[in-house]
Structure formats: structure tokens, C-alpha cells
Amino acid sequence: MNDNFFTPIQNTKPYLKIGFEGKAGSGKTYTAAEIAIGLHKRIDSKKPVVVFDTEESAKFLNKKFAANGIDALVRRSRSLADLKTTMDKMREGAGDILIIDSITSVWDV
């Protein structure tokens, strides 16, 4: 009987959501990258980490991800439309991990 009344049990929630607050230079981006690297290894992801970069901070993360054998992709923008497209692409499988740095810049524009 396959009438779609029942569905397979699956996790439909993200593994982890974190927000960081702090002054400029306090290590928020660095900490987010460290957590992303650990999570990438923990879930055995084969996909790149995606960074939605409103602060031009992703360029400092390239060596960190490369040193851990992790590819990273970036979208440099402050546009809400671009963030929506990024989220759509993540849902389509572009990556397992997304860093938005900083979300404040999107709603301040």
C-alpha cells in the first residue's frame, strides 16, 4: 500500500543553528569557521561550506578551509534577494553548511 499517507522517518530539522554576537574583531567569523569545519567532519559532508559574505570576511577563511581539505564557496552580497537565492540553492543541495556573515548587514540595507 503506497498512498503517501505514511512517510519515512527522517530528520527534517537542521543539525545546528548558531548566532554569534560580539564586537568587531572578537572572533565571531573565526569561531563560525571552526564550528563549520568540525561539523563538516562530524557529518562526513562531501559538499563545500557555503559563505554568504556581507563583510568581505570570507577571503580570510580560504586557507583555514583548505588546510582542512574542505572546499568553500562564497556569495558576496548584502541583498535579501541574493540571500533568498542562497537559501534556495542550499535546499537544493549546494552545501550542507552555510555561514551568513553577517545577517545584520542584510536587514540594515
> DSSP readout, 56-70?
S-GGGTHHHHHHTT-
Q: Region 96-108: what's the mean pLDDT?
A: 85
pLDDT at 70 over 90: yes
pLDDT at 68 over 90: yes
Nearest residue to 101 via CA among 21, 14, 47: 21
Per-residue pLDDT, averaged over 5-19, amounts to 79
41 confidence band (pLDDT: 50, 70, 90): very high
Averaged over 42-62, what is the pLDDT? 91
Work out whether the CA dihedral 12, 33, 86, 94 comes out positive or negative: negative
Q: How far is CA 93 from the centre of its chain?
A: 12
Position 109 confidence tier, pLDDT thresholds 50, 70, 90: low
pLDDT of residue 2: 66
> Residue 38 has what pLDDT?
96
Query: Which pLDDT value is given to residue 1?
Result: 56
